[in-house]
């Protein structure tokens, strides 16, 4: 099942890049939770409405927002870990930005149940038990 989970995460990233909200939601459980590094500002994105809000926030911040997967693999407990390169140009500022992140995906029934996005890749490795 772990390779199937990796493919679900890959499809979700592709759907985000294509701005295909419904395909992204189809990769997720009904009670999906998405936690970004901006949790103190935007809160937690929960369920399909939260995912729609996330897509809207992404579009508002940078219409050319894109995620490129550098590495995506299955990790213990059926989770997946992805190292990402996020690029975007600020809608208001016009300033291009690049950020390296790590996403930890938890699954239930072959769908994404939780996504935790880390700006510190070492913290992501610790979260999945690959570093102490």
pTM: 0.92
Q: Which two tokens stand for residue 127?
A: 């979260």
The model's pLDDT over 19-42, given as tens digits with 9 standing for 90+, comes to 999 999 999 999 999 999 887 788
* Domains present along the chain, CATH in parentheses: 2-127 (3.10.450.50)
Residue 3: Cβ-neighbour burial (10 angstroms; 0-12, 13-18, 19+): exposed
The model's pLDDT over 76-98, given as tens digits with 9 standing for 90+, comes to 888 999 999 999 987 778 888 89
């Amino acid at each position: 099942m772990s390779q199937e989970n990796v493919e679900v995460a890959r499809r979700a990233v592709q759907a985000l890049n294509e701005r295909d909200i419904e395909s992204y939601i189809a990769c997720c459980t009904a009670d999906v939770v998405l936690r970004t590094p901006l949790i103190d500002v935007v809160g937690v994105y929960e369920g399909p409405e939260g995912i729609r809000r996330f897509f809207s926030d992404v579009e508002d911040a940078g219409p050319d927002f894109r995620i490129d997967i550098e590495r995506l693999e299955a990790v213990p407990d059926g989770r997946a870990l992805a190292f990402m390169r996020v690029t975007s140009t600020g809608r208001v500022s016009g300033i291009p930005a690049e950020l390296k992140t790590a996403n930890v995906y938890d699954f239930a029934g072959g769908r994404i149940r939780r996504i935790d996005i880390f700006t510190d890749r070492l913290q992501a490795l610790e979260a999945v038990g690959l570093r102490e």
